[in-house]
Chain A
């Protein structure tokens, strides 16, 4: 095990635990407003203080972790569910018109500035967590398609695939039974990285008011609320910001660590 992997996994687990615990318990109810108690700094009842409505910031962070993780995870799921089959198909039909179409389609999606399109989608269809997922997920599809194709192509040249073909297996069966298991590690690593990018994108979308809507707590929304309060109550901006930073950092470190751990060739280079 390497250091990046340990630190990254611990950080990620902390946030996943916070999100999971929020389903059964939070230090305070975030849907009750307590205006007299607003903008308190850290104290015994409110570990991270309270916001402009007197809501407990730790509880908001826990509920926000849930939103962030849900949106980013589903967006990664969308990207994998559509991108990996497309990539496998392109690799299996390498050089065909289908391959060309899939790859040019990918290039086209890549050419769009993702944030602008996410804004367009949420502006037209309305701001919500589901539309944020769609907006972020669309841009995960070409990432996974391209990566899958790139990793699958050299595998198709290998002897064990030839053996499978000699046995009469179809391209589809070979893709699922032989190619897919061999590229799983790569997908897990990329999944972690897209997960962290998803967290950042969700935060950005909800910061500009196009992500999850109140009363659903989200870190980006908390930062938007904190913007005008930053001079009188800096903790309202610092706490959610650090939550995003640490969660993203954790996922990135975990991704780097996993890559080194799962890829024996890199390990040889390192030692």
Chain B
């Protein structure tokens, strides 16, 4: 297990380093002069030169990269050009919208998908299975931002149960959770559809295994065999999907935040893109990529802890 973990840790570090190089390269090298890009076409040359000096762009490339990475490690993302505040502060303000939204959506998606997948597998080929599987086909095909608009139309505009957008802050936790509910549902539904399908097929694979037949031969009912043996083992592939979904939810939140005017990382990225505030874009993207890579790493470890066979394979 330790050898496996060390191996995964090495590839984690390589991934993080390559990710940082790619993002740094995309932002700093390819589009030409970031200072000119940020100031727009009408900028005077001396203004550009001043900004270049302020941003440290007159330093060699490798120095800039190392400065940036060591800054990242100290949670110092640099200074935002438009907001005139440290990027870390901006991120700290917004992350308390994006992260709870992703977690909320993950919980909803799991709560919907587990019962649906287990039910469909236990009624394989029956009316319940067919209905759930058709529903998941629809769920996978729905663009989540459109589903979000439909939710607003029904539950905010017509029924007035929820507000159509905005976020009141965490001073009033109930209101805060309420305002994240529609966005979380919109994010969760397509993911729940995928998860339910994975749960169902993983469970069906398990139900065909010898140990289920043994359990049944020992006198366990279908139901007991399903819950005591099949579900537990079927959870292994499901766990990976949940890990991957967290990254989808965090990234997908970027778009859903636009629909609901939530002041999260997604809106920060877009505001920074339109303001040409590249330092903010770069930092938020790096933060999201880091989170995703680290979550995937943790899922791999959890996976190996649950299934010893994987350790030897790796």
Please state if A249 and B292 are interface contacts (CB–CB under 8 Å): no
Q: Which residues of B264-314 have CB atoms within 8 Å of chain A's CB atoms? A: 269-270, 273, 281, 285, 288-289, 292-293, 296
Q: Judge if A144 is at the interface, Cβ distance under 8 Å.
A: no
The complex places the Cα of A237 from the Cα of B269 at a distance, in Å, of 25
Q: Which residues of B contact A204 (CB under 8 A)?
A: 143, 145, 255
Please state if B281 and A120 are interface contacts (CB–CB under 8 Å). Answer: yes
Asked if B137 contacts A249 (CB within 8 A), the reply is yes
Q: Return A181 CB to nearest CB of chain B, in Å.
A: 29
CB distance from B218 to the nearest CB of A (A): 27
Interchain CB contact under 8 A, A115 and B252 = yes
B9: interface (CB < 8 Å): no
Distance of B130 from chain A, by nearest CB (Å):
11
A230 is an interface residue with CB less than 8 A from chain B: yes
Q: Does A196 contact B (CB under 8 A)?
A: yes
Question: Residue A241 contacts which of B149, B152, B293 (CB distance < 8 angstroms)?
Answer: B149
A89 within 8 A of B: no
A114 to B251, CA, bound (A): 8
Contact A245 B281 (CB under 8 A): no
Cβ of A73 under 8 Å from chain B: no
Say yes or no: is B233 at the interface (Cβ < 8 Å to chain A): no
- Total count of chain A residues near the partner, CB < 8 A: 40
Smallest CB–CB gap between A229 and chain B, Å?
A: 10
- Nearest neighbor of A122 in chain B, beta-carbon distance: B273
Q: A115-B251, A120-B23, A244-B146 are known contacts. Are A234 and B153 too (CB-CB below 8 A)?
A: yes
Say yes or no: B19 contacts A111, CB within 8 Å. yes
Across the A-B interface, give the 7 residue pairs with the lowest CB-CB distance, nearest first. Answer: A113-B251, A241-B146, A248-B141, A249-B141, A123-B273, A115-B251, A231-B157
User: Which B residues form the contact surface with A (CB < 8 A)?
Assistant: 11, 14-15, 18-19, 23, 26-27, 30-31, 137-138, 140-143, 145-146, 149-150, 152-153, 157, 247-248, 250-252, 254-255, 258-259, 269-270, 273, 281, 285, 288-289, 292-293, 296
